[in-house]
């Protein structure tokens, strides 16, 4: 495995969890594992997203690869992805979009709405009004479905974004699935049955069960994602990333990931 060397000076930011370090270099973004196997989760998820119809829907997703990184004098696991921004483009998160376009009290407006379906509808309506994107409901539903499929509990409004070039907007490639597949072994220990751990997950940004959030979005905009992966596809997606982790942990990680995807897929199909 190739080890990419970098320095602590390049650490540029952290995740919503507060500690996952990331930085940009040579046209790629790098992220370190912090609480478990986030790099594997990103890499496997992006490989399996290629087995969905996201591209057919007219949307994109970020492709990740595993990395061995020399950082802070230590060899660490992580992942990287190409910088998808074109010259003149920037990312605008929904959190920033709503704060600037609706006002600092936008959250209080959402709280007054009667149910989750109405809240999701409000987010979509405001985003479409402010950006001119007329399929944001389908995009958001597909994103929620992908989060459910891979058990990604970290889809806060700083992980939902649009692309901006001047006053023109576009859909952002779907990114940041590192909290999925039970990757955080601090919060979801390896010695606890995956079935128990999955029951504890809460979907963001609605802080609800994945099924409730997805069904509310689908009620507004229809089901979006079609997932066609087989058992063999998941095994193949896991093969290379697993080699980055200690041999004693590989079977545990593999079992957790397989169980997570299969269980969440059954729920998504209901």
pLDDT at 3: 59
pLDDT at 72: 83
Output the 3-class SS for the chain: CCEEECCHHHCCECCCCCCCCEEEECCEEEEECCCECHHHHHHHHHHHHCCECCCCCCCCECCEEEEEEEECCEEEEEEEEECCCCCCCEEEEHHHHHHHHCCCCHHHHHHCCCCHHHHHHHHHHHHHHHHCCCCHHHHHHHHHHHHHHHCCCCCCCCCCEEEEECCEEEECCECCCCCCCCCECCCCCCCCCHHHHHCCCCECCCCECHHHHHHHHHHHHCCCCCECCCHHHHHHHHHHHHCCCCHHHHHHHHHHHHHHHHHHHHHHHC
What would the pLDDT profile of 156-198 be if each residue is shown by its tens digit?
999 999 999 999 999 999 999 999 999 999 999 999 999 999 9
pLDDT at 240: 97
- List the chain residues with pLDDT less than 70: 1-19
Predicted structure pTM score: 0.93
pLDDT at 152: 98
């Amino acid at each position: 495995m190739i080890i990419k060397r970098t320095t602590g000076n390049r650490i540029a930011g952290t995740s919503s969890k507060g500690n996952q370090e990331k930085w940009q270099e040579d046209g790629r973004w790098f992220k370190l594992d912090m609480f478990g196997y986030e790099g594997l989760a990103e890499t496997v998820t992006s490989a399996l997203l290629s087995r969905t119809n996201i591209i057919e829907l007219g949307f994109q997703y970020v492709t990740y690869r595993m990395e061995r990184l020399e950082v802070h004098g230590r060899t660490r696991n992580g992942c990287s992805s190409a910088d998808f921004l074109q010259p003149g483009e920037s990312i605008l998160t929904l959190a920033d979009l709503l704060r600037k376009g609706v006002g600092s009290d936008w959250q209080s407006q959402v709280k007054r709405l009667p149910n989750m379906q109405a809240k999701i509808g409000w987010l979509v309506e405001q985003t479409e009004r402010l950006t001119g994107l007329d399929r944001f409901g389908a995009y958001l539903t597909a994103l929620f479905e992908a989060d459910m499929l891979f058990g990604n509990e970290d889809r806060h409004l700083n992980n939902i974004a649009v692309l901006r070039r001047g006053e023109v907007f576009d859909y952002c490639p779907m990114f940041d699935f590192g909290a999925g597949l039970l990757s955080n072994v601090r919060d979801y220990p390896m010695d606890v049955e995956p079935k128990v751990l999955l029951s504890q997950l809460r979907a963001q940004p609605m802080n609800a069960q994945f099924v409730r959030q997805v069904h509310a979005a689908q009620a507004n905009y229809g089901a979006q994602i079609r997932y066609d992966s087989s058992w063999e596809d998941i095994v193949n997606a896991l093969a290379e990333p697993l080699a980055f982790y200690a041999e004693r942990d590989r079977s545990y990680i593999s079992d957790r990931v397989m169980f997570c995807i299969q269980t969440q897929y059954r729920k998504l199909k209901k």
